[in-house]
Amino acid sequence: MNSASIDQINSKVVTFGEVMMRLATPRNSRFPQTDLLQLTFGGGEANVAISLAYLGIEASHVTCFPDNLIGKAATQYLRRHWVNTSQIRYGGEEMGIYFLEQGAVHRSSTIVYDRSHSAFALADASIYDWEQILKGKDWFHWTGITPALSRMAAKSCLEAVKAANKFGITVSADLALRKGLWKNSEEASVILRELVNYSNVIIAGTRELDLLLDDTKGSLDEKVQKVQKLYPSVTVIADKDRKSRNASINTIKGMLWNGKRKITAKGLEVTHVVDRVGTGDAFAAGLIFGLLTMEKQEEALDFATAACALKHTIEGDANMVFEEEVMRLASGDTSGRIIR
Amino acid sequence: MNSASIDQINSKVVTFGEVMMRLATPRNSRFPQTDLLQLTFGGGEANVAISLAYLGIEASHVTCFPDNLIGKAATQYLRRHWVNTSQIRYGGEEMGIYFLEQGAVHRSSTIVYDRSHSAFALADASIYDWEQILKGKDWFHWTGITPALSRMAAKSCLEAVKAANKFGITVSADLALRKGLWKNSEEASVILRELVNYSNVIIAGTRELDLLLDDTKGSLDEKVQKVQKLYPSVTVIADKDRKSRNASINTIKGMLWNGKRKITAKGLEVTHVVDRVGTGDAFAAGLIFGLLTMEKQEEALDFATAACALKHTIEGDANMVFEEEVMRLASGDTSGRIIR
Amino acid sequence: MNSASIDQINSKVVTFGEVMMRLATPRNSRFPQTDLLQLTFGGGEANVAISLAYLGIEASHVTCFPDNLIGKAATQYLRRHWVNTSQIRYGGEEMGIYFLEQGAVHRSSTIVYDRSHSAFALADASIYDWEQILKGKDWFHWTGITPALSRMAAKSCLEAVKAANKFGITVSADLALRKGLWKNSEEASVILRELVNYSNVIIAGTRELDLLLDDTKGSLDEKVQKVQKLYPSVTVIADKDRKSRNASINTIKGMLWNGKRKITAKGLEVTHVVDRVGTGDAFAAGLIFGLLTMEKQEEALDFATAACALKHTIEGDANMVFEEEVMRLASGDTSGRIIR
Amino acid sequence: MNSASIDQINSKVVTFGEVMMRLATPRNSRFPQTDLLQLTFGGGEANVAISLAYLGIEASHVTCFPDNLIGKAATQYLRRHWVNTSQIRYGGEEMGIYFLEQGAVHRSSTIVYDRSHSAFALADASIYDWEQILKGKDWFHWTGITPALSRMAAKSCLEAVKAANKFGITVSADLALRKGLWKNSEEASVILRELVNYSNVIIAGTRELDLLLDDTKGSLDEKVQKVQKLYPSVTVIADKDRKSRNASINTIKGMLWNGKRKITAKGLEVTHVVDRVGTGDAFAAGLIFGLLTMEKQEEALDFATAACALKHTIEGDANMVFEEEVMRLASGDTSGRIIR
Amino acid sequence: MNSASIDQINSKVVTFGEVMMRLATPRNSRFPQTDLLQLTFGGGEANVAISLAYLGIEASHVTCFPDNLIGKAATQYLRRHWVNTSQIRYGGEEMGIYFLEQGAVHRSSTIVYDRSHSAFALADASIYDWEQILKGKDWFHWTGITPALSRMAAKSCLEAVKAANKFGITVSADLALRKGLWKNSEEASVILRELVNYSNVIIAGTRELDLLLDDTKGSLDEKVQKVQKLYPSVTVIADKDRKSRNASINTIKGMLWNGKRKITAKGLEVTHVVDRVGTGDAFAAGLIFGLLTMEKQEEALDFATAACALKHTIEGDANMVFEEEVMRLASGDTSGRIIR
Amino acid sequence: MNSASIDQINSKVVTFGEVMMRLATPRNSRFPQTDLLQLTFGGGEANVAISLAYLGIEASHVTCFPDNLIGKAATQYLRRHWVNTSQIRYGGEEMGIYFLEQGAVHRSSTIVYDRSHSAFALADASIYDWEQILKGKDWFHWTGITPALSRMAAKSCLEAVKAANKFGITVSADLALRKGLWKNSEEASVILRELVNYSNVIIAGTRELDLLLDDTKGSLDEKVQKVQKLYPSVTVIADKDRKSRNASINTIKGMLWNGKRKITAKGLEVTHVVDRVGTGDAFAAGLIFGLLTMEKQEEALDFATAACALKHTIEGDANMVFEEEVMRLASGDTSGRIIR
């Protein structure tokens, strides 16, 4: 990858997961109203890679695409947005797709998936050589979506975190429970517990934490404490609190538990949401960036919250903002004045 | 009509009125700024038909189009949006047109009409065979715009409501006074009074109620009572209260008088108006749907208010939302969270 | 269906087959060059239905769509283009999709399919009640793509042609061999032979005829004779001869064998191809229209050839042209002068 | 008017006629396929004004627009394209409109008019003060469309040519017979004969010349001679010969009779027609420009033919090409090589 | 200029300054996300001219464009928006350009300039004949950007204000300090002081006033008083107070000191900013219009504030609003209700 | 670079030169007709890099961009199209720009440049470390445009070819004389002669060869022989013959002299030119690819000619076609049939 044109930071991050074609109706229109769809690509982990790349991190994404025009276009999308694509595998027949209608005010956004037989979900675990991929890297990031896609994807993910642990690479995970993808919650519980044992930083809310615990009683803070006791590898647990006044006005506030204390970020009200998708991934990328480059976790959390807030103003899945833009907001300048 | 793909409800509604070509500047641009216009079609009654069709009602629209490419395209628009178009007549030369510049914040939307010699306004009343059209139907809807367009249109409307009464079909009317269309208020008064005598549900505000009364003194509630006394066929009078903070922020609240008491819906603040046109028609359609399918008028009014609020987020004249979407909002979920 | 606005002809045609979402790059651009895709829908059989509907025939299409926003949008596309959609079934998860890059001059158009697990391919044959569907209809049309999609689709197709034969409905088939869809040519041969036994009009070239014959020696004319002998139900065999100077200049000429003699249409050179897809379907629709409404097969073949030539100037899969437009060209007026 | 940025020529030309809003489907699409229309403005005489303005002539257009957003936008369109709009009148209600579907190859372009009650057609002749308008001008141009629109428009046109004659201004006319606009050919004949008596340069084909003659026997050349004898003011008669291989390939060749001899221009084959509308107006403008600025009528005719050919490559009604571009083609350079 | 179609006011205003090509990403997209740019033109002084022209003032803009397609297109843009362009000069090679990414909520708009070698900046002062340009005019307007562009531009500006003083024409200036354009603040100070000596109405905030003063201590009110004492030609000083809650919500309030007292306008909250650029120019134009046509300065200031607020809803640099629209808002109607 | 998704070939090519922002009017429109410009990037050498990358070669481009949003977007464009951008330098202020109006038929394309003060032209030669850049590479390509841009650019180019010679890397050059860029032909002659002394494959026509010769008499073949004698490093001279029937129909035929004999490719007629720009670069890339990977120069020349022909069908500067597509045409299949 070349990120010569953006301030370079020496950390190297690897992300792993499915990338889908995103087909969105143009702003405000519904499916039966349009004859044009906006074509981009996205996925929970690739979104993190793009965000990090814009922040100056050397970010590689690992995935599998069909070896045709569409798979090539997906790789080209990641290259365009600064991601290192040298570890992408090609094979299989079809690309995961998701259709998106953006909501507004009281009208919800609607997503329809077409991903059940994607090249990624069907790919054999053997196509990824994790030792070769992760050698010399600093951070590995996965999400709870990947192991939910197929047995094979779960296996690949497990091999990846094991290899990362072997090399002493920090592992982060956004557990992001998607009930529609798992057979049942037991399956989710068994697989995620094993993966979390190899992870160091996890993003999880009540629903995700419950999957890691046999005893799910107690407050969020108590759950966090239990998870930190049960999974000693996990040094940081984070989450973001979202208040949705409606689809166009959301308030975001990051929270982080580091085993010693709970840190809460300044809340940010996003008064005119442009695109709600991928805001969690922007938070994750901001957190990874903060933990990699900042001295205090408070700073990292404010950075993650600001990154998340800014993502709401960017169309598409990924957070295409620069470090200085996030820093300006994280430092408290909410004015949005023109930069000349 | 085929509405097999949406939850079917057995009621059959017929609407009658002019459909205009709507030529709107793209979002935020003014006429001298654009070389592209957005082409859709709309009219106060056809908008109700489309809304009802999306809600699962079998809705037929009756109108007259010129028998050329443009008239065909108008029919195709209605077909695309689930309306039964089998009773549309073809003849005459020109299509009614309206030009629209969408406003924002303190800038008003501007509408310029080009409808004075439309095929609909000039059509002879004899082209509609109302007994054949209304046989087996459950509801007939007209608005105060139709009789204002021409003597012939008023005559056709009167024949329609008489036929509806003959078959025992419920008749609703959105009186919607458009001063620019009537010669004077006396003409409006005479014609509307006769039509209201054949109607059961009317949507009207102070200005419209005054046309039905010789004695226009008193409060809105008192006017409603007088109208209900003078026009015994009218069992329900409804209206919506709109507060416009500016063109982009409106608050909507439905009201209904059923002869016994006044019902007031929960107000909904639309914080980011996308399209203000047709919101009254969305209210009317929501009310018809509610009265046809719900047990309590309170529910119907909340449904109508929610439908109206959602319309503000849809581009175009008609409210392309599904029953479950309206119901979610009517039930108090204003969060607009993503539906996956 | 309502086709009141186009000259109505009393024939009723039913078509059956998969409809795919068509996602095309805007004119002249390749996939990695675009962020917008043009959204329409199409399929070999539905294209025939749309063409026939524009020609004034009451055309119903039978298929199966997923019961979600995308399936609804597909139905709405067919409704918009005059097709009767009352016999469409809803179920399954995913819509067939094809991606299209339009070629030009020496650059070929490229199509990538994503249809392997479509709702149509996986649909159970029992969802179609062919006797109810075909009762009162005049013509049934299928293509060789449908039985190639899945065992279930082949079974449904066979049940349809049997029901059509029972009611004495004319059956036409465009055998359209797609090698990529069949397991092997034996499977194609076995299944197509059985279906052709119930068919009356077939469109087929050398490759398709060979599948119907054990002895594939001889010229095209000889093969046609053999097929007509072996399959006595088949009274008409037709094909079109295409000369491709390049992707932008094609010459088209229809041929028809009626058991007695071979008829050859006037050739038409399309000097500026706009869209090559669906031109065979336009030929099939033109032929069906001609055989249904014209006295002489010569006229029908000229009509089919002209329809095919006109389709090359229409974007999208289906031939949206009116009878008078085809007739003008079929009658020899190639001038394309402005119609005011 | 300011045409400082283009090479200024001192001649001043006035044109008179209706300007319509032109609403065209985007390239290749038909009306039921599009939700966007391309908005420009045009009319046979204003097209001549724009063409002349681009060629460096000070061109004023006289017309009447409704005094609303739409009329303003029409004026702004003419201003944008260098026309002097200071003599435009405002009044009336509606703008003439025409809808256009561009054809291709064997598919004809289709035009639907909506102009019957336009502000221009209904405008009183008294609103134009022709002496004030024409004072100090060099040339006045009208077409056969204007007197066909209404009695008032015919009256205005007659007053204009009389005033022009009074000032000794050259009068040109493109007789352009539009049968749909005239009540019958007698009406056309009576009115056009009177107007031609005040005209000096006319563009007319067989159909138009016949209207000027009682005895319509003979060849085109003979008709021209008769007209020149009967109407002594007419010193130049011109026409263009068009061969339409199809809607995308046309060949153009100008012809001119000056009373002494017939001049024929070099023919030009337009192999890829972009927009067929307004090509006659481009020929007229080229002829006026040539007669105003060139020594030989041969040059003027070649210039007119080249201007006409170039118009086929410009979208919209008017010929937006510069003198050097026309001259390059008129001089025989058909190569279309890049100009850097 | 022709502004016959808008209510004409007899005042004639001349503005002088660079016009840049504005290339903006489509709404909400960032540079690496788009393959299309929106092309308009703008500059601090030309924006004032366009605003005034829409308000009915005869406004001429003086500038210099390269004599090529791009310079012509710039002139055409001004003509389209009613500006008199007869005093534009042509010469030089390149057009100033600015690239714009519109911000939203907490994301700032970003502007990148490419104007260092523009035809305007390099133009010799001798190309403008100010006596000829200003003769018979009523008002001359310049901004602090022009003298900052180059020595030549500063010289031209000085010659202009001297000529204006000679003719007794009112001179207004929006001092608009752009630090990036001046070598240092001393240069700015020297040049601006000289120019202000010839000016009557200035728009300036603290930073600009400081440049005019040796002693910059004290409050804003005190600075204003000092400036009014030091520069006796300056009879009016105005400014607008902007509160940016974020890029999408701004509150605007005009202030004016007339030597006797300070006037403060009603504040207006713009809740959904569409385009932040050019809002200061809209304020300036509103102020000039008010001072030219209204009796009281209070009215003028409310008008300027309302004009400024409305500009936030218009895409592009200039305020394309009509007098009645501004007046409605200035009079306190903030509802933005539909105008039919 | 990652070209894992396209068939990888081990050769590594480096190109060097300015990349400009290309701002093109949408298809068929002229500058004053459009409010949207198509944004891509291109330059004679980068176009070669993109073409080679699509053909599977690892291609690096060396250039200098301003370190802002625009420079980043340019890098992202090259990354998107598979080019290795790790050797791009950042500095300076402005990006070279060219404006393009696409011609059609007899209307020429028009290009306006804005590149005189680009970051590339002003960049110091010291920013490129050619030994580090070229180490391990196989081919270096430059064009005659680069040394014409500035003394510094010429110096950088000379250092590059010297370094290439030092490493034994093949050097190719497309001499491409642009008279507008050179001070005079002597300057061009002196500088190009020195550079050609370090080059092995040159593409040049009569005009370019003349610059390399003192004695410019004789036929093209004789000139080629003289150049090959005078510049012994030059082993291959190639050119393409273009016949322009008009802007939409061109015929292309490659020619190559290898010191022993002249080879002539099969001519290809491009009947519908989509984009004429960059076709020479496509020829150069095809030639480099052919010489690197094919056994016979005849094959290489046919490949180059086919690549050139295909480029005429691709919008934008660079030839985004795959090896198999070029090969199909080079092998004689001109049919452009659909690839499924």
pLDDT in tens, F140-165: 999 999 999 999 999 999 999 999 99
Q: Taking CA atoms, what residue in F is nearest to B29?
A: F35
Report the residue of chain A nearest D33, measured CA to CA: A35
Domain region containing F315: 12-329
Q: Which of E27, E68, E69, E109 to mutate to test the interface with F (most CBs of F within 10 A)?
A: E69
Chain F residues at the B interface, defined by Cβ less than 8 Å, are 33-35
pLDDT, residue D14, reads 98
Token output for C234: 């088949």
Q: How close is the nearest chain E Cα to the Cα of C33, in Å?
A: 9
Which ipTM did the prediction report? 0.95
pLDDT digits (tens, 9 = 90+) for F255-310: 999 999 999 999 999 999 999 999 999 999 999 999 999 999 999 999 999 999 99
Q: Is residue C1 part of a domain?
A: no
Q: How far is B34 from chain F (nearest CA, A)?
A: 8
Place of tokens 């939307």: B109
In Å, how far is B276's CA from the nearest CA of chain E?
Answer: 8
Check pLDDT > 70 for residue B333. Answer: yes
Query: What is the rounded CA–CA span in Å between residue D61 and residue D139?
Result: 12
CA distances from E322 to C112, D68, E32, E336 (A): 52, 12, 36, 14
State percent of chain D over pLDDT 90. Answer: 95
Query: How many CB atoms within 10 Å of residue F178?
Result: 15
- Measured in angstroms, the CA of B315 and the nearest CA of chain F are apart by 23
pLDDT category at F8 given cuts 50, 70, 90 is low
Q: How far is the alpha carbon of B304 from chain E, nearest alpha carbon, in Å?
A: 21
Task: List the one residue out of D297, D311, D313, D306 whose CA is nearest residue D329.
Answer: D306
Q: Report the alpha-carbon distance of residue A315 to residue A320 in Å, rounded.
A: 9
d(CA C73, CA B262): 40
The β-bridge partners of E140 are E14, E171
Distance CA E336, CA B104 (A): 7
| Chain F residues lying within 8 Å of E70, measured CB to CB | 31, 99, 112, 114
pLDDT confidence of residue E295: 95
d(CA B324, nearest CA chain C) in Å: 13
Q: How close D107 gets to chain B, by Cα (Å)?
A: 15
The C-alpha angle F251, F256, F257, rounded to 5 degrees, equals 150
Which residues contact residue E329 at a Cβ distance below 8 angstroms, ignoring those fewer than 6 apart? B106, E268, E306, E309, E310
Both structure tokens of B47: 């908008």
Look at E37 and F39 and tell me if their CB atoms are within 8 Å.
yes
Looking at residue E28, its pLDDT comes to 87
HSE of D70, CA atoms in CB hemisphere, 13 A = 31
Point out the residue among C36, C73, C95 whose CB comes nearest to the CB of A36.
Answer: C36
For residue B2, tell me if it sits in a domain. no
- Residue F128: closest CA among F200, F213, F30, F61: F61
How many contacts (CB atoms, under 8 Å) link B and C? 52
Within a domain: E337: no
- pLDDT for F10 equals 75
Q: Is B39 in contact with D37 (Cβ distance < 8 A)? A: yes
Of D21-35, D111-125, F8-22, give the lowest mean pLDDT range. Answer: F8-22
Q: pLDDT category, F317, cuts 50, 70, 90?
A: very high
pLDDT for residue D1: 32
CA distances from F3 to A66, A68, E295, F6, F81 (A): 14, 13, 72, 5, 10
**CA–CA distance, E172 with E167 (Å, rounded to integer):** 14
Q: Choose the mutation target among B69, B113, B120, B317 for the interface with D, i.e. most D CBs under 10 Å.
A: B69
- Do C70 and A40 lie within an 8 Å CB cutoff? no
To probe the interface with B, which of F33, F35, F37 has the most B CB atoms within 10 Å?
F35
Q: What is the pLDDT of residue C26?
A: 95
Q: What's the pLDDT tens digit per position in A39-67?
A: 999 999 999 999 999 999 999 999 999 99
D33 contacts on A by Cβ (under 8 Å): 35
Three-class HEC string of chain F: CCCCCCCCCCCEEEEECCCEEEEECCCCCCHHHCCEEEEEEECHHHHHHHHHHHCCCEEEEECEECCCHHHHHHHHHHHHCCCECCCCEECCCCCCEEEEECCECCECCEEEEECCCCHHHHCCHHHCCHHHHHCCCCEEEEECHHHHHCHHHHHHHHHHHHHHHHHCCEEEEECCCCCCCCCCHHHHHHHHHHHHCCCCEEECCHHHHHHHCCCCCCCHHHHHHHHHHHCCCCCEEEEEEEEEEECCEEEEEEEEECCCCEEECCCEEECCCCCCCCHHHHHHHHHHHHHHHCCCHHHHHHHHHHHHHHHCCCCCCCCCCCHHHHHHHHCCCCCCCCEC
Choosing among F2, F60, F64, which should be mutated to test the A contact, i.e. which has the most A CBs within 10 A? F2
pLDDT tens-digit profile of D121-165?
999 999 999 999 999 999 999 999 999 999 999 999 999 999 999
| Partners of residue A35 in chain B, C-beta under 8 Å | none
User: Residue E5: what pLDDT?
Assistant: 45
Q: How far apart are CA B226 and CA B193, in angstroms?
A: 13
Dist. CA E267–CA E208, nearest whole Å: 23
Write out chain C residues lying below 8 Å of D107, CB-based: 310, 313-314, 321, 325, 336
Alpha-carbon gap, residue D152 to D161, rounded angstroms: 14
Contact present, E164 and E32 (Cβ < 8 Å): no
Residue E160 lies in a domain: yes
Portion of chain D with pLDDT greater than 70, in percent: 97
Between chains, do E5 and D90 touch, taking CB under 8 Å as contact?
yes
Closest Cα of chain A to B63: distance in Å? 22
pTM: 0.96
Chain C residues in contact with B80 (beta carbon < 8 A):
76-77, 79-80
Give residue F7's pLDDT. Answer: 52
**Nearest CA of chain F to the CA of B101: how many Å?**
18
pLDDT of residue B8: 56
Identify which of F119, F184, B41 has the alpha carbon closest to the alpha carbon of residue D37: B41
pLDDT over 70 at D8, yes or no: no
For residue C6, the Cα-to-chain-centroid distance in whole angstroms is 21
C contact chains, 3+ CB pairs < 8 A? A, B, D, E, F
- CB atoms E31 and F114 under 8 Å: no
Give CA E268 to chain center in angstroms.
20
Which positions in chain E have a beta carbon within 8 angstroms of at least one beta carbon in chain A?
Answer: 27-30, 32-33, 103-111, 113, 178, 180, 244-249, 272, 276-277
State whether E79 and D2 contact (CB < 8 Å): yes
Shortest distance between the Cα of B104 and any Cα of chain F, in A, equals 22
A2-6, D269-273, D308-312, E128-132: the lowest-pLDDT one = A2-6
d(C-alpha C106, C-alpha F330), whole Å:
10
Closest to F69 (Cβ–Cβ): which among E70, E95, E101? E101
Question: Got the DSSP string for D237-251?
Answer: EEEEEEEEEETTEEE
Chain B residue at shortest CA distance from F33: B35
Report chain F residues whose CB lies below 8 A from the CB of D248. none
CB contact under 8 Å between F33 and B35, yes or no, is: yes
Give the nearest partner residue to F104 out of D80, D272, D335, using CB atoms.
D272
Asked whether residue A336 is assigned to any structural domain, the reply reads no
* Count of CB pairs separated by less than 8 Å, D with E: 52
| Res D27: pLDDT | 87
- C306 vs D contacts (CB less than 8 Å): 106
Domain assignment of residue A123, yes or no? yes
**Short-list E41, E33, E105, CA closest to E75:** E41
> pLDDT class for D4, splitting at 50, 70, 90?
very low
Residues of B whose CB is below 8 A from D118: none
The string of DSSP letters for C200-252 reads SEEE--HHHHHHH-S---S-HHHHHHHHHHH-TT--EEEEEEEEEEETTEEEE
Residues with Cβ < 8 Å from E257, sequence gap 6 or more?
E221, E224, E225, E228, E236, E237, E238, E263
Q: How many CB atoms lie within 10 A of CB F179?
A: 11
Q: Has residue F124 been placed in a domain?
A: yes
pLDDT of residue B207 exceeding 50, the answer is: yes
Cβ-Cβ contacts under 8 Å between A and C: the total is 70
How close does chain D come to A104, measured CA to CA in Å? Answer: 22
Q: State the Cα–Cα distance between residues E68 and D6, nearest whole angstrom.
A: 9
Q: Quote the percentage of chain F above a pLDDT of 90.
A: 95
Rounded Cα–Cα distance for residues E115 and E22 (Å): 11
- Between CA D32 and CA B72 the distance in angstroms is 8
* F315, F316, F336: residue with CB nearest C106: F336
Which residues of B fall within a CB distance of 8 Å from E80? 32
- Cα separation, D231 vs D255, whole angstroms: 19
Judged by CB atoms closer than 8 Å, whether chains meet at D112 and B68 is answered as: yes
In a domain, E338, yes or no: no
**Cβ pair C298, C263 in contact under 8 A:** yes
Q: Which residues fall within 8 angstroms of residue A323, CB to CB, at 6 or more apart?
A: A7, A55, A56, A289
Residue owning tokens 């975190």: A161
Q: Which of C81, C309, C316 has the CB atom closest to D106's CB atom?
A: C309
- The position carrying tokens 């068919």 is C199
Is the per-residue pLDDT at B1 higher than 50? no
For residue B316, which residues of chain A lie inside 8 Å, CB to CB?
A: 33
E10: pLDDT confidence band, cut at 50, 70 and 90?
Answer: confident
pLDDT of A3 reads 40
Neighbors of chain F by Cβ distance (3+ pairs < 8 Å): A, B, C, D, E
Residues of chain C falling short of pLDDT 70: 1-9
The residues, ordered by sequence, that sit 6+ positions from E333 with a Cβ below 8 Å of its Cβ are none
Structural domains in chain F (count): 1
Lowest-confidence range among D280-284, E3-7, E74-78, E235-239?
E3-7
* Residue A8 pLDDT: 57
For the cut 90, the answer to whether the pLDDT of residue F226 exceeds it is yes
Residue F1 confidence (pLDDT) above 70: no
CB E85 within 8 A of CB E71: no
Q: Say what the pLDDT of residue A10 is.
A: 75
Helix (H, G, I), strand (E, B) or coil at B253: strand
Q: Does position B290 have pLDDT exceeding 90, yes or no? A: yes
Return the beta strands (E) in E164-295 as ranges: 170-174, 201-203, 236-246, 249-257, 262-264, 268-270
State phi, psi for C266 to the nearest 5 degrees. Answer: -65, 135
User: Are C2 and B81 a contacting pair at CB < 8 A?
Assistant: no
Say yes or no for a CB contact (<8 Å) between E34 and C33. no
Residue F217 exposed, middle or buried by CB count within 10 Å (0-12, 13-18, 19+): exposed
Could D86 and E6 be called an inter-chain contact, meaning their C-beta atoms sit closer than 8 Å? no
Q: Tell me, what CATH number does A209's domain have?
A: 3.40.1190.20
Q: What is the pLDDT of residues E255-264, one digit of tens each?
A: 999 999 999 9
**Residue D3 neighbours by CB under 8 Å, 6+ apart:** D53, D56, D58, D82
